[in-house]
Structure 1
Amino acid sequence: MGVTMERHVLMRLLAGDDEASAAALAALQGGATYVVWDGSVPAERHAGVYAHRLRRVRLKGIEPLGLERAVQLLREHGRPVRGGLIDSADRTWTFLLFLTEDGSALVACAGVQRVVEESPL
């Protein structure tokens, strides 16, 4: 279940200098939908899951935006994090958010471009 976080608060949290956060912020400014979940999970659990997913998507020739950095930041954080997602308005990008347990700061952000298959004519 999602927790209520106002758009302007999330935008303020994404005002970092890394490429993934900047892209996620631009998506929010462009009308993206988002959710931040209730509860938290140990950061190391997320780091392990997303390190595995990073290897898998790279095998498919996809390079997620900032995912390697996000895995590193999660490992360094060492405390529980709250997760969230941002889906761009045009549905071409999904951004993963990892916030501090109380939601007051961004721990890491990563983006994955959705592969759109062309439909046959």
Structure 2
Amino acid sequence: MTLDDLCEMLAEQTPACGPARAALLAGEAFDIWEGLVPASQLFHTYRVRRRVAQRHGQPTLGLDETVGILDAAEGELLRIGSIRPTGRAWTFTLFFNASATVVLACAGVARASHEEN
């Protein structure tokens, strides 16, 4: 997958898609992980992450929408990707269909201020 392909796939699935696309266009790298994960497992994981972020006051983008999308994709196997911008405030997690041809959701989480680059 090329950078242009990914930028084109990042439409308006969640509010994090625009900032994720901007990070890519600014030269940040992305990874798509090997293997498939059941959407139901990701739903439970990211529902907990959302609660933890809320409890700690950690800013998020599109995490609520992503949890809903993962819940709706219950029976599907998904592929995960990430954009971990160096020197930037946000980390983005991307959720693709099994063939990594469609971005289903994108969530952004503010990096902790004490985290090293």
Question: Residue 45 of structure 1 is aligned with which of 41, 46, 65?
Answer: 41
Aligned to 2:70: 74
Report deviation, 1:33. 1.5
Tell me which residue corresponds to 1:104. Answer: 101
Secondary structure at 2:61 match in 1: coil
The structural deviation recorded for 1:113 is 1.0
Unaligned regions of 5+ residues in structure 2, if any?
Answer: none
1:15 Cα deviation from its structure 2 partner:
2.5
**For residues 64 and 17 of structure 1, what CA distance do their matches in structure 2 show?**
15
Matched, 1:12 2:14: no
% identity of equivalent residues: 35
Normalised by the size of structure 2, how large is the TM-score?
0.90
Is the 8 Å Cα contact of residues 91 and 111 (structure 2) preserved in structure 1? yes
Runs of 4+ in 1 over 6 A off after TM superposition: none
Higher-Rg member (1/2): 1
Aligned residue pairs, count: 114
Q: CA deviation at 1:68?
A: 1.2
Alignment RMSD:
1.6
